[in-house]
Amino acid sequence: MRPFKRLISREEALAIISANVRRVDRVERIPIEASEGRVLAEDIIADFNVPPFSRAAMDGYAVRAEDTYGASTYTPKRLRLIGRQNAGEWFEGEVGKGECLEVATGSPVPRGSDAVVPMEYIVLEGGVVEVRRPVHPGANISPEGEDIKRGETVMRLGEVLTPGKVGALAALGRGSVLVYSKPSVAVIPTGSEVRPLGSPLERGQVYDTNSYTLSALISAHGCIPKRFQVIPDEPEAIRAALRMGLSQDLIVFTGGSSVGARDLLVDAVEEVGRVLFHGVQVKPGKPTLFGIVEDKPVFGMPGYPTSCLSNAYIFLIPALRTLAGLPPYKPRMVEGRMAERVVASTGREQFLTVRVRDGLVYPAFKESGAITSMAHADGYIIIPINADVIEEGEEVMVTLLE
C-alpha cells in the first residue's frame, strides 16, 4: 500500500473538477409534456403574437368608450345590446355608436369597440344596457401581443424548462422542443465483501447500498444512472469495469479508492488516463479520487456509505450539473444553535450530519459506515479545518439535504 500523494483542500478539488467537466453536447427533440426540468438546446422565438388578438380581460360588455363618458348611477348611458360572444367564438359584426356586445373573459374584442365595461357597472333591462360608470379606451382589454410579440426571443439556449416555461411553449404552439440529452453515469460498486441485493450474506459481507444512494442522487441532478454489478477487488475486474464504464459520460466507482483497498482503482486509472487528485482534506471522505480517462471524468468514492454520500453531495453534484447543463446547485441553508458540545477533528475540514429541532442543532453522525447518519439527518454543518470544538449554544449554519 502506498500513502496518499498529497491531500488537497475542498476548494482545490472543486476547481480541478470544474476545469475538467464539460456539458454533454448531444441533443434530442422531445414532446413538451416531458420537458419539465430539461435544458433547452435552442432559442425559442415567437412566430406570432400572444395573445393573437385583443381579448376581453373580464366578463362584461364591449363598447365604444366615448359612449360611456358622463355615465353615473344617476345618469346612466343607455346602449342597445346586439348579442353575446363567448370565448372561442368570433363575432362577425361590428359594435356601432350606441351599441354594445356582451363578452366573456378571453373572447375577442369585436370590431368597433375599444373598451369593456365590467358586469358590476351594468344594469340590463330587456335589450337595453344601462352603463353606470364610464370607461376609457383600452379599459379591461388585453391587447394583441401584450404577453409575447412576434419575433421576440422568449427563451434562450441553456435555460432550464420550468412548468411556466412549458406553458409558454404551449402558448406558442410548440408541441416539441429541442433539449440537451441527459448524461449517462456509470455507477460501479466494488468490494469483495459487497453483495448484490437478494443474495444471502455470509459472515463479513454487506449489501451494496452505495450504488443505490448514488443512483438516486444522480437522477435528482439531471443525469441517468447506469448501475453495474458489484465488482470484486481484483485488478483485471476493476480494469474491465473501467473499460465498460467508458461507454457512459461519467464514471463513479464506490470503494476501492482508499489506501487500504490495494490501490486497485488508482492503478487502473493511471494505466489508461490521469489521476488528478487522490485524497482530500475532508472528513468523512478523505480517499476521494478524481481522474480523466479518454476525456471521461472518473470518480472514486469512499466505500463507507456515509463517506460516499457525503462526498457525492460535495464533489459529484457539481460535476453532474455541469455535465447536464444545469445551473449550480444552491441548497437551502438555515441558522441554528448547537444543542451540545462537539469536539472536532483537526487537520481536515469536517462535514457533520445534523438534525434540526426548534432551532437547535443535534449531531446525527454515528460513524462512516452508518448509512442512517445520512438517512436520519436534516443537513450538515461544516467545521473549519482549524477548529478544535464547537461549543453548546454556538451559532452554526446548516446546509439542508434534499
- Asked if 278 contacts 4 with a C-beta cutoff of 8 angstroms, the reply is yes
Q: Say what the pLDDT of residue 344 is.
A: 84
Domains and CATH numbers, the chain: 10-26+181-324 (3.40.980.10), 28-49+148-180 (3.90.105.10), 55-142 (2.170.190.11), 333-400 (2.40.340.10)
Residue 43 to residue 32: CA distance in whole angstroms: 15
- Asked if 373 contacts 365 with a C-beta cutoff of 8 angstroms, the reply is yes
- Asked if 255 contacts 261 with a C-beta cutoff of 8 angstroms, the reply is yes
Q: Say what the pLDDT of residue 367 is.
A: 53
Q: Say what the pLDDT of residue 327 is.
A: 96
Pick the closest to residue 104 from 115, 116, 121, 92 (CA basis).
116
Q: How confident is the model at residue 304 (pLDDT cuts 50, 70, 90)?
A: confident
Give 247-257 pLDDT, tens digit per residue. 999 999 998 54
Q: Say what the pLDDT of residue 289 is.
A: 96
Q: Say what the pLDDT of residue 402 is.
A: 72
Paired sense of beta strands 342-343 and 296-301, if any: unpaired
Which contiguous run of DSSP H or E holds residue 334? Answer: strand 333-338
Contacts of 391 (CB under 8 A, 6+ apart): 338, 341
Terminal Cα distance for the chain, rounded: 37
Q: What nine digits make up the cell of 84?
A: 353575446
Q: Say what the pLDDT of residue 101 is.
A: 97
Q: How confident is the model at residue 306 (pLDDT cuts 50, 70, 90)?
A: confident
Which contiguous run of DSSP H or E holds residue 141? Answer: strand 141-142
Mean pLDDT of 198-227: 93
Which of 140-144, 259-263, 343-347 is predicted with the least confidence, judged by mean pLDDT?
259-263
160 by DSSP, 3-state: which? strand
Q: What nine digits make up the cell of 108?
A: 375577442
99 by DSSP, 3-state: which? strand
Return the bridge partners of 360, or none: 337, 357
Pick the closest to residue 239 from 208, 218, 270 (CA basis).
270
Give 94-109 pLDDT, tens digit per residue. 999 999 999 999 999 9
Q: Say what the pLDDT of residue 376 is.
A: 84
Output the average pLDDT for the chain: 93
Residue 383 to residue 136: CA distance in whole angstroms: 64
Pick the closest to residue 300 from 370, 339, 245 (CA basis).
245
Q: How confident is the model at residue 197 (pLDDT cuts 50, 70, 90)?
A: confident
Q: Say what the pLDDT of residue 337 is.
A: 97
Pick the closest to residue 232 from 194, 185, 183 (CA basis).
194
